[in-house]
Structure 1
Amino acid sequence: MVLPEGSLALLETLRGGLVVSCQAPADSPLYEPSVIAAIAQAAVLRGAVGVRIDTPAHIAAVRQRVQAPIIGLWKRQIPGCEVYITPQFEHARAVAEAGADIIAIDATLRPRPAGETVVELIGQIHDSLGKLVMADVDTLEAAIAAVEAGADLVGTTLYGYTPATAGQTPPGWELLSQMTLLGKPAICEGGVASPEMTRKALDLGAHAVVVGTAITGIDLQVQAYCRAIAPAEDHRL
């Protein structure tokens, strides 16, 4: 497989940098394309080397305001299937048409929607869309399979969020260290909650680090603070 033109330069742009995941719950006031685009633009203006964006509408809005690389995905719930990050080629195509440079897919070993495999999906994205693929994985076995299937980057994104990693708390430091030996850029994503953790990920060999909730997750952050202070508040009442 021949990488799309400019792919190596694109990957080099991400090296050693921070990618900010700009997402919001569907019921949040932040879940507006223009708001997500503003957050993404602010991140890039302050030094982020790229952004990670969910849904074609948000990707298209961000693309109008940001020239930095966009890792795009589309979370879609399919009945009877646990795989939800860009699960099928039709979703990948929509993400590409919206302006993403890299397409993130669930590349865990869980059963997929009928009719497609990770190998086929990556091949279609490369051949039909001319885009790089970031494989979101949870285990070393999944990472190895994704690399063998042709993934261009592998991320620890789903560590701690699947039955295979139940009870584990991200970041997956050991998984990251193992993934750096696979010959593809390893991306640390999930549970990175401070600048110091970002530095640790890079020291362990991460090609880049994706941070979401700790920077842009206003809804989740506020909920966490409020839960923490609720007992004291109840006591005062």
Structure 2
Amino acid sequence: MKSEILLPLKHGLIVSCQAPVDSPLHNPIVISAMAEAAVNRGAVGVRIDTPTHIEAVRQQVSQPIIGLWKQQISGFEVYITPRFEDAVAVAKSGADIIAIDATLRERPQGETVRNLITKIHQELGKLVMADVDSLEAAKIAADAGADCVGTTLYGYTQTTQHQSPPSFDLLTQMVNQLSVPVICEGGISSPEMAKQALDLGAYAVVVGGAITGIDLLVQAYQKAVSLS
């Protein structure tokens, strides 16, 4: 099962189709249209947040879906599919791969990354993408059975907040030291950067905001023109 799902992603572009909760784009119809447009133009897969959006996208595309559910749990910093119950909802909605926060931060309900990955494999029959922020976390996730590991959270945790993604240094270290596919995600803002990530050994590259982030892109342009 693993090769059947991961192989189509190799050396390809995965498009993250998401939108801020307060945006009119945060709508299953809109997100599914984004995803369909992406795969129609050659994306090998998509990354989708929330079960309702995953379900809508599943009806439109047959390419692999990396699904997640961003949940803010009081007292905890982890938010990407933090609990097994969140993974269950993501699996039921039609995701092929479930993305989880696999950083070293404390998790709710006393859960561990290893236990979460094991339960997703054994009880849901789904692959796991471990989103990490460091080489240490990547190694632990791979050792725990993650099917692929992403640089997703570099620059977004307390220990890396002063760094700007992407970290091609971290990507290179992960490629050289892990035996599982490494996916470059975060901060890829141009086709040239996407190609550079693949040239450095990334199994695949995820691009989100630079393609689908209309809200932030307009905000950035508006800020620039307002200063002229």
**When the two structures are superposed, what TM-score results if normalisation uses the length of structure 2?**
0.98
Which residue of the partner structure matches residue 39 of structure 1?
34
User: Alignment partner for residue 210 of structure 1, among 201, 206, 224?
Assistant: 206
Q: Which residue identity does 2:202 align to in structure 1?
A: A
SS of equivalent to 1:86: coil
- Once residues 185 and 106 of structure 2 are traced to their aligned partners in structure 1, the CA distance between those partners, rounded to angstroms, is 22
- Once residues 140 and 174 of structure 1 are traced to their aligned partners in structure 2, the CA distance between those partners, rounded to angstroms, is 10
Which residue of the partner structure matches residue 220 of structure 1?
216
Which residue of the partner structure matches residue 73 of structure 1?
68
- Once residues 173 and 136 of structure 1 are traced to their aligned partners in structure 2, the CA distance between those partners, rounded to angstroms, is 15
| Percent sequence identity over aligned pairs | 68
Which residue of the partner structure matches residue 189 of structure 1?
185
User: Alignment partner for residue 15 of structure 1, among 4, 10, 14?
Assistant: 10
Residue 136 of structure 1 pairs with residue 131 of structure 2: yes
Residue 94 of structure 1 pairs with residue 89 of structure 2: yes
- Cα deviation for residue 216 of structure 1 reads 0.3
Which residue of the partner structure matches residue 126 of structure 1?
121
Q: Which runs of 5+ in 2 are unaligned?
A: none
SS of equivalent to 2:110: coil
Q: Which residue identity does 2:102 align to in structure 1?
A: A
SS of equivalent to 1:164: coil
Mapping of residues 122-201 of structure 1, within 5 Å: 122-181=117-176, 182-201=178-197
| Number of matched pairs | 227
Which residue of the partner structure matches residue 114 of structure 1?
109
Q: Which residue identity does 1:83 align to in structure 2?
A: V
Partner deviation per Cα, 1:70-90 (whole Å, 9 max, x = no partner): 000000000010000000000
- Cα deviation for residue 33 of structure 1 reads 0.2
User: Alignment partner for residue 53 of structure 2, among 25, 44, 58?
Assistant: 58
- Once residues 105 and 97 of structure 1 are traced to their aligned partners in structure 2, the CA distance between those partners, rounded to angstroms, is 16
Which residue of the partner structure matches residue 25 of structure 1?
20
- Cα deviation for residue 230 of structure 1 reads 1.5
Partner deviation per Cα, 1:42-79 (whole Å, 9 max, x = no partner): 00000000000000000000000000000000000000
- Cα deviation for residue 231 of structure 1 reads 1.5
- Once residues 86 and 62 of structure 1 are traced to their aligned partners in structure 2, the CA distance between those partners, rounded to angstroms, is 18
SS of equivalent to 1:10: helix
Superposition RMSD in Å = 0.6
- Once residues 166 and 42 of structure 1 are traced to their aligned partners in structure 2, the CA distance between those partners, rounded to angstroms, is 33
In our comparison, the structure showing a higher alpha carbon Rg is 1
Which residue of the partner structure matches residue 235 of structure 1?
none
- Once residues 100 and 216 of structure 1 are traced to their aligned partners in structure 2, the CA distance between those partners, rounded to angstroms, is 20
Partner deviation per Cα, 1:187-235 (whole Å, 9 max, x = no partner): 0000000000000000000000000000000001000111112222xxx
- Cα deviation for residue 128 of structure 1 reads 0.2
